[in-house]
Amino acid sequence: MFKPNLTDLRAYDPGPSIEDIKKAYGLNRIVKLDSNENVYGASPRVAEAIAKAVLLPALYPDCRDTEVRSELSKLLGVKPEQFLFGCGLDEIIALISRALLAPGDSMVMAWPTFYEYYCHAQIEGASTKKIPCDKDGRHDLKAMFAAIDSSTKVVWICNPNNPTGTYINEKELSDFVRQVPENVAVIIDEDYIDFVTAADFPNSLRLLENHPNVLVLRTFSKSYGLASFRIGYAVGQRRLIDEIDKVRPPFNTTRLSQIAAYAALKDQEFMKECTRKNREVLAMTTAYLDEKKIPYYPSQTNFIFVKARDPKGVAEKCRKQGFLINPFQDGIRITIGKKEDMQDLLKILEQALTEASVEPTA
């Protein structure tokens, strides 16, 4: 009855609820550092705008996201027609895959990177070429380019990359994009761009001018702290945007998410203050890891990837003490929390890592 390509997929597993974890370990407080949410919340203007809004619950929302579109257009210097909005970037990733990938097609992505790219290629019956990140946790663009063949429709670039936190620079990206044939879409997921400090980070919007096959993705979920509202967007040239728009459900963002996003955009100060605090705590974190000689990838984001043996065991030990972090195959991804929380977590983490490295591996 079901598509055979669903066999190898698993539904997203959110893990046990905060309440269940509190009960299981007898904790009063949980510090959630496993999903890269904004630990400083959202601009107070968001709650104000929603409290003041005329809700119009019985009417469908504005299917063109007019106000957010026009505000973003001014902010980014891109034409209003160049945007496509979605119920989070998660939906945008699904729409791109739906519009571009069919059985027999393939896509290229890094590994590890954001899992949803793989998931939606699989749903569309397309095959995936996973190209391992290099030893520094960065996309191996040479190998990714070499993996492109006549079946390739999409290449995913997650910049900075989730979960490694590393980035590729302006020159590397523009050289790569210049090489890729125009009938292959290059999707650049810039979910964490507001946290970036590297001076040579690409200005990908400028690439859009000469490359009709490039799409840039951004979201309100991380730096603007609106993960619960589910709104994100793609920017690109009209032709690509208009084709993907054909597979978009017309009312895929809600009136409330539009109001929230607009209010958040109008408070750039709040967002910048969050990224400033993040930088400070990230620097404190790396200083600690350096001092304790704990290996990690340098991060341009609001999370950090710390290499570890037995990542699951380490995450479990942190969870017992009320800190949720995310285990991967050869390390753990930790959202950069508030200063005091990170100070506590780092001590617990050091202990857990030490225990993990002396325990015999099962």
Ligand X SMILES: *Cc1c(COP(=O)(O)O)cnc(C)c1O
Residues of this chain that interact with ligand X (CB under 6 A) are 36, 88-90, 114, 158, 162, 189, 191, 219, 221, 227, 232
Q: Which is nearer to ligand X, 38 or 82 (CB)?
A: 38
Q: Which single residue brings its beta carbon nearest to ligand X? A: 88
Which amino acid appears at position 110 of this protein? A
Give the nearest distance from C-beta 27 to ligand X in angstroms: 26
User: What amino acid is encoded at 331 in this protein?
Assistant: G
Instruction: Kindly state the tokens that stand for 200.
Output: 């040579």
The count of other CB atoms within 10 Å of the CB of residue 103 is 10
Cis before residue 112, ω within 30 degrees of 0? yes
Q: How near is the Cβ of 235 to ligand X at its closest, in Å?
A: 14
Rounded to whole angstroms, the Cα distance separating 220 from 188 reads 16
CB 28 → ligand X: shortest distance, Å?
28
> Which CB, 72 or 353, lies closer to ligand X?
72
Q: Which is nearer to ligand X, 71 or 190 (CB)?
A: 190
Nearer to ligand X by C-beta: 204 or 322? 204
Least Cβ distance, residue 192 to ligand X (angstroms): 7
Q: CA torsion 109→113→118→120, rounded to 10°?
A: -110
Q: Which is nearer to ligand X, 72 or 158 (CB)?
A: 158
CA distance 83 to 181: 23
Identify whether the C-beta of residue 312 lies closer than 8 Å to the C-beta of residue 301: no
| Per-residue CA distances from 51 to 161, 231, 347, 360 (Å) | 36, 19, 41, 56
Give least dist CB 160 to ligand X, A. Answer: 8
**For ligand X, which is the closer residue by CB, 234 or 318?**
234
| Shortest spacing between CB 260 and ligand X, in angstroms | 13
Closest CA to 208 of 77, 64, 65: 77
